[in-house]
């Protein structure tokens, strides 16, 4: 395989997780926290002007319909049975209500992830960038706990307080260490409330911060020596962590921690059709959420973006005839979604209302050429050897040539 991506080629995805919460403050965004209502049907609608709804807000109606017809046993603290959670994620129909697929791919992957969370082991979603790790973890938390907002964002600067707890210093100075002066981390809140907590990019955290999770996962307890007390996790508590394949070696998971996780590897989409479906579905949803002018997403152009990305990723054309070099960029469905969404914005605001090759050419070129020297060579070669030869790709070839200069 000709995969030459450097380890730090993490890419922006159209679905950046909510708000990083490095301080461990419970609700830094001030977004309404739906935790008061255990029943997804009772969640308030999306407040005016909010750019991105949490999964449990956006899919409240689906979750309610599934819950109403879910008579299978639910693990303690769960809002739905494992079967119902899988239906929510994989899609289908419940008593006339269509359930949109959230995760497109092998159903078994979802089943293993859901089953893991019903045990005392935590779940680690591993994969290359843009393979829906964050997306799946948000939807798992929404379906299982009715709340996907308990989140710790792992970065090199994440401190132990983000996993354990911090202090309100004004109170600490006047009252000393008391219950009220303590600021619970999302992990601590998940323990007391019996919910799932998400830990994003686990392997980017310094190792000693990661290790703060060991006691939590093995003893299900978080000691608070300053108060001489501890928090014991309630039923329903568990951890979903995500880690990027490409970050391997940044801060390797300690073996003590690794043993407490079941790892599920999320693959890149198996077939082009699957990938087209993912991109088409997300682009349509995003366009609606961003209130872009109505525009049919243009399946032909989506297929073209997906074809280019798959060929560059795999190092060979879809007919298996021509070998091509792979650029350093990841080129996952996440990048394809960005390219098509920007293309739609271009077409809607500056074009004739139809998504055309010229609208995606700039996006594709930008996504492929991350390294201005080596990637540019790879892209030029691909343009000349593959794109130029395809009869019905002439417009696209011209548009790309214009962008690349």
| 8 Å CB contact between 326 and 315 | yes
**287 makes contact with ligand ATP (CB under 6 A):** no
Task: State the residue for tokens 């479906």.
Answer: 277
Q: What is the closest distance, in whole angstroms, from the C-beta atom of residue 18 to Mg ion in the complex?
A: 11
**Span from 11-19, 178-186, 318-326, 392-400 in contact with ligand ATP (CB under 6 A):** 11-19
Q: Where are the alpha helices (DSSP H) in 1-157?
A: 55-58, 60-68, 82-90, 107-117, 133-145
Would you call 391 exposed, middle or buried from its count of C-beta atoms within 10 A (0-12, 13-18, 19+)?
exposed
Query: In the complex with ligand ATP, which residue's Cβ is closer, 106 or 380?
Result: 106
Of 78, 88, 103, 309, which lies in the binding site for ligand ATP, with binding defined by CB under 6 A? 103
Nearer to ligand ATP, 233 or 279 (CB): 279
Binding flag, residue 105, ligand ATP (CB under 6 A): yes
Nearer to ligand ATP, 135 or 396 (CB): 135
| Number of residues binding to ligand ATP, judged by CB under 6 A | 24
Question: Which tokens belong to 207?
Answer: 């190792």
Q: Is 240 in the site for ligand ATP (CB under 6 A)?
A: no
Nearest approach, Cβ of 396 to ligand ATP (angstroms)? 23
244 sits near ligand ATP (criterion: CB under 6 A):
yes
Name the segment binding ligand ATP (CB under 6 A); options: 71-79, 125-133, 312-320, 350-358: 125-133
Q: Is 134 in the site for Mg ion (CB under 5 A)?
A: yes
- The least distance separating ligand ATP from the CB of residue 296, rounded to whole angstroms, comes to 20
- SS3 of 342, please? helix
Q: Per-residue contact track with ligand ATP, 336 to 375, x per CB under 6 A? A: -x--------------------------------------
- Segment contacting Mg ion (CB under 5 A): 133-141, 156-164, 185-193, 250-258? 133-141
Residue 278 binds ligand ATP, judged by CB under 6 A: yes
Q: Which is nearer to ligand ATP, 98 or 353 (CB)?
A: 98
* Interface with ligand ATP (CB under 6 A), residue from 34, 146, 236, 333: 333
3-state secondary structure of 241: strand
Residues 226 and 229: their CA atoms lie apart, in Å, by 8
Token pair, residue 7, equals 């380890």
Instruction: Determine if 15 is a binding residue for ligand ATP (CB under 6 A).
Output: yes
x/- track of binding to ligand ATP for residues 129-168 (CB under 6 A): xxxxxxx---------------------------------
> Residue 126 interacts with ligand ATP (CB under 6 A)?
no
10 touches ligand ATP by CB under 6 A: yes
Query: Residue 87 or 203: which CB sits closer to Mg ion?
Result: 203
Residue the block writes with tokens 């590897």: 265
- Strand pairing partners for 224? 229
Long-range contacts at 2-6 (CB < 8 A, ≥ 24 apart) = 2/315, 2/325, 2/326, 3/313, 3/315, 3/326, 4/326, 4/327, 4/328, 5/246, 5/326, 5/328, 5/329, 5/330, 6/246, 6/328
Cross-strand partners of 229: 224
| Beta pairing class for 92-94 and 97-99 | antiparallel
Q: Which is nearer to ligand ATP, 78 or 103 (CB)?
A: 103
Q: What would you report as the CA-atom Rg of the chain, rounded to the nearest whole angstrom? A: 23
Residue 221 CA to residue 215 CA, distance in Å, equals 7
Site for ligand ATP, residues 60 to 99, rule: CB under 6 A: none
Q: Given the DSSP bridges, would you call strands 182-184 and 165-167 parallel, antiparallel or unpaired? A: antiparallel
* 31, 147 contact by CB (below 8 A): no
Q: Given the rule CB under 6 A, which residues bind ligand ATP? A: 10-11, 13-15, 103-105, 127, 129-135, 242, 244, 269, 278, 282, 333-334, 337
Binding site for Mg ion (CB under 5 A): 133-134
């Amino acid at each position: 395989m000709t995969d030459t991506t450097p380890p730090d080629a993490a890419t922006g995805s159209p679905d950046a997780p909510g708000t990083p919460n490095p301080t461990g403050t419970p609700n830094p965004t001030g977004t309404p926290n739906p935790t008061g209502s255990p029943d997804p049907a009772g969640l308030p609608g999306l407040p005016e002007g909010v750019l991105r709804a949490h999964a449990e807000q956006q899919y409240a109606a689906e979750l309610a319909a599934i819950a109403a017809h879910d008579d299978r046993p639910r693990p303690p603290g769960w809002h739905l049975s494992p079967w119902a959670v899988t239906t929510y994620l994989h899609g289908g129909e419940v008593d006339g209500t269509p359930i949109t697929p959230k995760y497109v791919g092998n159903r078994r992957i979802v089943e293993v992830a859901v089953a893991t969370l019903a045990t005392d082991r935590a779940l680690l979603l591993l994969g290359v960038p843009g393979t829906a790790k964050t997306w799946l973890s948000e939807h798992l938390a929404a379906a299982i706990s009715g709340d996907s907002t308990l989140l710790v964002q792992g970065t090199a600067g994440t401190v132990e307080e983000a996993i354990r707890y911090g202090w309100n210093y004004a109170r600490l100075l006047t009252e000393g260490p008391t219950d009220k002066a303590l600021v619970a981390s999302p992990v601590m809140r998940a323990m007391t409330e019996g919910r799932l907590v998400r830990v994003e990019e686990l392997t980017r955290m310094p190792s000693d911060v990661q290790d703060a999770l060991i006691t939590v996962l093995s003893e299900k307890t978080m000691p608070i020596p300053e108060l001489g007390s501890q928090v014991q996790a309630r039923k329903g508590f568990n951890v979903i962590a995500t880690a990027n394949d490409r970050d391997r070696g940044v801060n390797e998971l300690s073996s003590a921690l690794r043993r407490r996780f079941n790892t599920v590897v999320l693959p890149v989409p198996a077939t082009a059709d699957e990938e087209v479906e993912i991109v088409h579905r997300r682009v349509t949803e995003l366009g609606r959420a961003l209130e872009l002018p109505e525009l049919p997403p243009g399946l032909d152009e989506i297929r073209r973006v997906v074809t280019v990305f798959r060929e560059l990723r795999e190092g060979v054309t879809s007919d298996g005839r021509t070998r091509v070099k792979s650029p350093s960029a990841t080129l996952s469905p996440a990048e394809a979604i960005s390219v098509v969404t920007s293309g739609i914005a271009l077409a809607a605001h500056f074009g004739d209302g139809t998504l055309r090759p010229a609208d995606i050419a700039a996006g594709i070129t930008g996504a492929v050429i991350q390294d201005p020297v080596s990637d540019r060579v790879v892209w030029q070669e691909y343009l000349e050897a593959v794109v130029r030869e395809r009869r019905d790709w002439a417009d696209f070839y011209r548009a790309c040539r214009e962008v690349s200069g």
